Amino acid sequence: MKNSKNYLIAIALLGAGLFAACDNNESGGNENPDVNNAQIEALATNSKWNNYLVAATEELYNDCVKLWAAWAGPSALSVDELAIVGGNAFWTNGGLNAPNGYAALVKNPGNGNYYSSGINAIEATIIQGTMDIAGEVGGQKIGGPYGHALAGKYAQGVLEVESWYSWNSITDYSDNIMSVRNSYLGVRGGTTASANSLSAFVKARNSTLDAAIIAAINAAYNGIRAMDAPFRNNLTGTKVVAAMTACADLEDIYKRELLPLVRGAGAAFDFTPILATYADDIVVESYKDMKDKANALKEAAAAYTANPTNARLSAVCDAWKAVRIPWEQSEAFLYGPADLLGLDPSLDSWPLDQDDILTILNDNRLTTVQQIQGAITGESVRGFHTIELLLFKDGQDRTINN
């Protein structure tokens, strides 16, 4: 676990201005996130705003159905869900090439599919997915804003903090690590590993390593939860550094110790029970949970706009936070359909393009929900964070005419 030292040196150099800071802001150059866009705020919770909310929640639900369906396969869908994905051709068009669902490919490596063997499948899914999200949380989601703040660009750092409208960032990041824990243990939300899990495989061969991996996962999770909230107001400090270090250590133990152990198992070892538990109980169930909660969000938004009250608006805010959990707890497996079908950016593009959102809100030709749906095909004007902007202000639920 030596990578964390070099990683933090790089962050320190970024803060000193020796590395160029990447400006990913697409919000029209608003350099002070505490000064809300007056033009957008003047429209808050008007009828057009509310129709935009309904349109965005309906599109989010449709994307969630597609992501779950891509993994689960055609036999799992209702008639209405099949219509949302566009029929049975969905599983073979668009580069997916998974006629029985992507989970079937993960569970049956070889046979000419994406994964040549059980070892290849474990490495490409559970292990690589964990290394990717641990590196992203520590190095980008936390490390990016941290580096900008050290470089004296605090406002720019805040703009890169995901979920800063709702102040949900720390929950998002810790749920990302929960996706690692779920994948490793083969259970969702539990602490006792499934008999058919990567943890059980490791424990049978090296119980010390299994304990160390679980400890590394817990350290990353607890380190993030220990950061001062909201993260947008606390971008630097020892707690932030500790969380980044723990994420780097988690990535490192997977790369340096877990990966060689799996590769050394040999072609004769049967990884399919582990892959089946992972695909069915973790991935498919996470996406089903997200799909069901996205439907609840859509229905809450429709109920609010039909009869706007602050209580109904708060119910929509609660529903957004609820569906956000399974999404963030799925980020250790953002490959396959999430990538091949472009669903990751459609669902979770960040940062937003506030100029384009304002253009849609001001376009008098767009009045109905259906018309707005036709206008929000761009990744940065839809998805979780557009809905977040419509629902939250300064970390609080919006109120009518706020």
Residues 44-71: tens digit of each pLDDT? 999 999 999 999 999 999 999 999 999 9
Count how many domains the chain has: 1
Residue 265 above 90 pLDDT?
Answer: yes
Residue 253 covered by a domain: yes
Residue 26 lies in a domain: no
Nearest partner of 227 among 150, 172, 160, judged by Cα: 172
Mean of pLDDT over the chain: 91
139 found inside a domain:
yes
Res. 201: pLDDT tops 50: yes
Confidence of residue 316 (pLDDT cuts 50, 70, 90): very high
Domain that includes residue 99, residue range: 3-14+45-397
pLDDT at residue number 351: 87
Is a pLDDT exceeding 80 seen at residue 249?
yes
**Domain for residue 303, yes or no?**
yes
Position 210 pLDDT exceeds 60: yes
**pTM for the structure as a whole:** 0.92
Q: Is residue 386 part of a domain?
A: yes
**pLDDT value at 27 more than 90:** no
Q: Is residue 31 assigned to a domain?
A: no
Q: Which residue has the higher pLDDT, 95 or 121?
A: 121
Assigned domain for 290 exists: yes
Choose between 126 and 112: higher pLDDT: 126
pLDDT-derived band at 402 (thresholds 50, 70, 90) equals low
Check whether 21 has a pLDDT greater than 70: no
Residue 32 has pLDDT above 70, yes or no: no
Residue 136 falls inside a structural domain: yes
pLDDT, one tens digit per residue, over 158-186 is: 999 999 999 999 999 999 999 999 999 99
Residue 30 has pLDDT above 90, yes or no: no
Rounded average pLDDT over 277-290: 98
- Segment 216-244, tens digit of pLDDT: 999 999 999 999 999 999 999 999 999 99
Stretch 145-164: mean pLDDT: 96
